[in-house]
Amino acid sequence: MKFLIDENLSPKVADHLRSLGYSASAVRDEGLRGETDEDIVIWARKEKSDIVTRDLDFGFLYRQLGTSGVLILRGKNDSTEASLKIIDRLHRKGYLKQKDLSLQLTVATESRVRVFKNPSSIN
């Protein structure tokens, strides 16, 4: 499982995911800072990475373009600490290790996880 952390999240999210045993890099580490969401989707698809973001627009792109997986973190605030708490919860519950994570849009808060499968990925 590989994750690409969008620029609206701290690179500390990538560091934290790596500390939990996942492969993760931040948009800015990959030279994608300032690129369009579409360019980030193209890169993620090519690199077989799931996108981790706060940006709801990636949900629309997921539906329209059939992107790789998208994980949208929606904390009570925009702090890095809130994002890391959500990541920890997803890790403990096993959501980040699901093989079909890359086929779905996941929206996670501190207390709830909603999963949406792309209609084009359903047999």
- Give the helix/strand (H/E) hosting 4: strand 2-5
Distance from the first to the final alpha carbon of the chain? 22
Give the span between the Cα atoms of 107 and 28, in whole angstroms. 23
- Phi, psi of 117, rounded to the nearest 5 degrees: -90, 140
Of 84, 83, 97, 93, nearest to 113 by C-alpha is 93
What was the pLDDT predicted at 52?
Answer: 95
For 25-63, the pLDDT digits (tens) are: 999 999 999 998 888 988 988 998 999 999 888 776 776
Give the span between the Cα atoms of 107 and 74, in whole angstroms. 7
Give the span between the Cα atoms of 99 and 120, in whole angstroms. 17
For 98-118, the pLDDT digits (tens) are: 766 666 888 999 999 998 876
Which one-letter DSSP state was computed for residue 79? Answer: -
Say whether domain 2-121 belongs to CATH 3.40.50: yes
What was the pLDDT predicted at 7?
Answer: 93
What was the pLDDT predicted at 118?
Answer: 63
What was the pLDDT predicted at 21?
Answer: 95
- Give the helix/strand (H/E) hosting 46: helix 37-47
What was the pLDDT predicted at 122?
Answer: 40
For the chain, percent of residues with pLDDT exceeding 90: 52
Q: What is the pTM of this model?
A: 0.88
Any idea where the domains of the chain sit in the sequence?
2-121
Mean pLDDT of the 18-24 span:
96
Residue 120 has pLDDT above 60, yes or no: no
Mean of the per-residue pLDDT values for the chain? Answer: 86
What was the pLDDT predicted at 72?
Answer: 92
